[in-house]
Structure 1
């Protein structure tokens, strides 16, 4: 089975938007297309270097699912726009629609699932797709998907695609001191301000890693802390007790769903654009000729 490249599209197009100066990437009418150009170049680089036979761009149909908010009300509240919805730069909003039009013309699968984030689409692809699977994201939560037995790796692009970190289970362990299977509980203990997750007050990354290393999961940690006969450090025991309500729900919020109903879409990476005329039209109208050409060349190279 050819490799599946499962791309966290929002992670990449936000990085492209902030990483490519808008003034250097304008359409003939003056509209910024920096996110589109940067995203297409990232995909071209990934296709050229990873040579996948399959590719899916996962989307946020719901960037802040209600089922997660019901469990932790602070989930992503700092990213809420005053009028509701996600706070997205005005110049990025129309570029996302344009990007999807280009991907459709090329024939690259791109979809989300209602009520779920892109992470949940990626989690389900990683759990259900025949391996190997390479998940591409700058979201640390996706370290939990790494699974050597199933051939699932995370291509972590926190420092950009050019400096991506190709992570297997050994890399996750070396980076955080916990196995990939324990990463979600580790992250729940530590907390994550970028997602509005408070973590356990007074428990930092090192303590969280030691607890996961010793006990394996939050359930086992809580059970040991509640046992008067255990040799649990009194200070940490107190901190965990104070966070009991949070710990009861946080793992479910942090864990990526692996059972969402995915649309029946062929992930096969095309060797040539599906609709070359439409792609050419978009490229000429929006000053995307160079990144589109690079993508076409990458598709051809990957097919050979």
Structure 2
């Protein structure tokens, strides 16, 4: 009798993988295109990253989460949120829709929610499914470390193919001296330059981590302001509102209106369907690389 495969769910941060795949190849100056001139370099790179992770971590179920574009609740809370981001490169824009078509051909659900980010969809699905199975989150975004728990690992993609750092509560604490929920407090204090919210002006990562490690949380720090140096205390007191707002922006929502049935995200490839899509995009070489049996 064949032993049944242990069920596990991989939640893929589609935006993180697509941008990584685009810039990893575009930096050389060469953009892969079809004969009609359609850019496909990000799609090709995405599948290479994604399938390597599937082979490495062997999930039974997979979901891919995406930003939907447009205004989010964070942008409503803080108008400058992500205001420093450049527009996506012209060659990447058509690949946003195409990669979702490719994931459809793989039988993998594409999930997003208007007004929220992919992180919030990932947080919501991980909280729900970690009650019944092991969950893996594939990304390059360290903000997602706040979602780590005994049944949820965050797999951070490092430079190069097949190079991962897997975070559990234990490895997170060993590396950073933080519990998952304390990631939010640290971000509230130090802000996030890439998301364009400031935290407490003048407090960087080193001081933020030291304060959270010593006092446990923002509330713990505020309860012991009299113990801090005059400089750090005055910085926090002068930026209290932004501290609370930055922490709110840093926290991933885990109650977003998204759902995905387990049956719909079971990883079972229709080899012919996948090959047809790859052929359409003139990247049929991926079929043999993925080990697809095409009759």
TM-score by length of 1: 0.86
Asked whether the equivalents of residues 55 and 267 of structure 1 are also in contact (C-alpha less than 8 Å), the reply is: no
Q: Residues 15-53 of structure 1: CA distance to partner in whole angstroms, max 9, x if unpaired?
A: 001112473622122322110111111121111111100
Asked whether the equivalents of residues 62 and 267 of structure 2 are also in contact (C-alpha less than 8 Å), the reply is: no
The aligned residue for residue 162 of structure 1 is 162
- Distance of 2:52 and 2:190 partners within structure 1: 33
Deviation at 1:160, TM superposition (A): 4.5
Q: Which has the higher helix share?
A: 1
Q: Residues 108-143 of structure 1: CA distance to partner in whole angstroms, max 9, x if unpaired?
A: 111101111000011111111133111011111101
The aligned residue for residue 258 of structure 1 is 254
Q: 1:269 aligns with which of 266, 274, 284?
A: 266
The aligned residue for residue 41 of structure 1 is 48
Change (3 A) 1:231 1:263: closer
Helix, strand or coil for the counterpart of 1:14?
A: helix
The aligned residue for residue 61 of structure 2 is 54
Asked whether the equivalents of residues 185 and 247 of structure 2 are also in contact (C-alpha less than 8 Å), the reply is: yes
Deviation at 1:203, TM superposition (A): 1.3
- Distance of 1:133 and 1:239 partners within structure 2: 39
- Distance of 1:281 and 1:36 partners within structure 2: 15
- Distance of 1:170 and 1:297 partners within structure 2: 37
The aligned residue for residue 3 of structure 2 is none
The aligned residue for residue 75 of structure 1 is 81
The aligned residue for residue 126 of structure 2 is 126
In the alignment, structure 1 segments of 5+ residues that lack a partner are 81-86, 299-304
- Distance of 1:180 and 1:63 partners within structure 2: 29
Helix, strand or coil for the counterpart of 1:262?
A: coil
TM-score by length of 2: 0.89
- Distance of 1:13 and 1:19 partners within structure 2: 10
- Distance of 2:33 and 2:39 partners within structure 1: 4
The aligned residue for residue 109 of structure 1 is 109
The aligned residue for residue 147 of structure 2 is 145
Q: How many residues align?
A: 283
Q: 1:135 aligns with which of 125, 134, 137?
A: 137
Coordinate RMSD, CA, aligned? 2.1
Q: Please give the residue correspondences for 1:284-303 in structure 2 after superposition, counting only pairs within 5 Å.
A: 284-295=279-290, 297=292
Deviation at 1:295, TM superposition (A): 3.7
1:283 maps to 2:275: no
- Distance of 2:173 and 2:160 partners within structure 1: 22
The aligned residue for residue 19 of structure 1 is 24
Asked whether the equivalents of residues 17 and 34 of structure 1 are also in contact (C-alpha less than 8 Å), the reply is: yes
1:31 maps to 2:38: yes
1:240 maps to 2:236: yes
Asked whether the equivalents of residues 188 and 246 of structure 2 are also in contact (C-alpha less than 8 Å), the reply is: yes
In the alignment, structure 2 segments of 5+ residues that lack a partner are 1-5
